[in-house]
Structure 1
């Protein structure tokens, strides 16, 4: 049974690896996931298939089904391998520094593996490394001054995760659009400059005009960090009732 939450009564994390075969190419779930990640990095999730992974590994496609029963499990392994990258660095001291470090590493991972952003918020991430990152994040947020009980913690995590998902999907989408059109954001804005100037000169959009003319236009990294710190500033305040 294939569902968005997995595909086997026994999760892939709890099933033992198949017994080694007397075959020219040794396999493991780690090796399969690493190969799948390389293919997805190069071609996206749409270009990923068991047949392509098997060809890259030099084995028959059916051998892979000894390790993963379907695509859902393969994605689970790939996602958790990325969470391992996020979790591998040491944690700084202090709740805020810890959250900042985890979220920035999550952004780094999403930019290195753009397909990862496609799966944020769309699937439950329950592998051991994903749970480790979730534990570190939740434990740090639980120490924030504005988090007084479990309800506050749930709301704080919800706000933080919503920001991460939205910000990373938007940034990855902009990168893909720039590649597919051959036009980066600044060039696209310049091409629409005359039109936008004419529209703003009508006086019908005074607030938009202030944002365009007077507003700062920081880099994607600066914008991400600023918005993240705004979220954390909000979490530290006691909510109004």
Structure 2
């Protein structure tokens, strides 16, 4: 139910940043499934139409939320060598996703061509171009880093929401998947930071200017 403002209380001007911040607070409190235009309106104590004035649809609201999350990545004090710079940016990207409940779900489900996202993307692409990659390869390496980061962050956050329940045991008990049974312990390894480091090293190691 929408909150009523006390008589005589000056109304605080509402802008898009305030709407997005309220949406992120709702996300952190209740998760991605709870984010809606109505939920944000109730949190702000305003009508839905007021929220829709700043975010025309739920899809647009999610885009603005995704950009705000990525926009939290600091782009200062980066290493000068391109390889170290790209690695550091990837780690900062992962940290910003994990800083918000279901942050990876929000970012992965949108295509936000907005300032925060564009600034981060530009910084990462610049690092890869500085490493001698041509435009096509720099773009594809960037996408690969992004997919690795989003995928692992989503898995990590989903596992945390399930209180760490993550087992293939029952599905493999019948012996129908012998190869999976051999590696099940490794597939279920929840060492997400190590897995991220492994994947990032494999992506960046062949990305140098002398690679075929």
Query: Normalising to structure 2: TM-score of the pair?
Result: 0.79
C-alpha contact (below 8 Å) 1:95/1:144 kept by paired residues: yes
Listed one character per residue, the Cα deviations across residues 20-63 of structure 1 (whole Å, up to 9, x for unaligned) are: xx952321111111110010122222212222212221222222
Q: Is 2:149–2:196's contact at 8 Å kept on the other side of the alignment?
A: no
1:71-113 C-alpha deviation (Å, 9 max, x unpaired): 1221122111111211355322221222122211221122222
Where does the alignment leave 5 or more consecutive residues of structure 2 unmatched? Answer: 1-8
| 1:227, distance to aligned residue in structure 2 (A) | 1.6
SS at the partner of 1:110?
helix
1:93–1:67 Cα change, 3 Å: same
Give 2:113's aligned residue. 126
1:60 corresponding residue in structure 2 = 47
Over 3 Å counting, the alpha-carbon distance change for 1:237 and 1:89 in structure 2 is closer
Query: Where do 5+ consecutive residues of structure 1 fail to align?
Result: 1-21
Q: Indicate how the Cα distance of structure 1 residues 152 and 89 shifts in structure 2: closer, same or farther if over 3 A, else same.
A: same
Give the match's secondary structure for 1:142. helix
Q: Secondary structure at the match of 1:86?
A: coil
Q: SS state of the match for residue 92, structure 1? A: coil
Q: How does 1:24-63 map to 2 (within 5 A)?
A: 24-63=11-50
When residues 58 and 235 of structure 1 are mapped into structure 2, their CA distance, relative to the original with a 3 A threshold, is same
The alignment's TM-score, normalised by the length of structure 1, stands at 0.71
Higher Cα Rg, which structure: 1
Cα displacement (A) at 1:67: 1.8
CA contact (8 A) 1:87 1:132 kept: no
**Deviations 1:170-229 (Å, cap 9, x if unpaired)?**
2223223x23xxx544xx47xx49x96995xx9x847853x46899x5721122112211
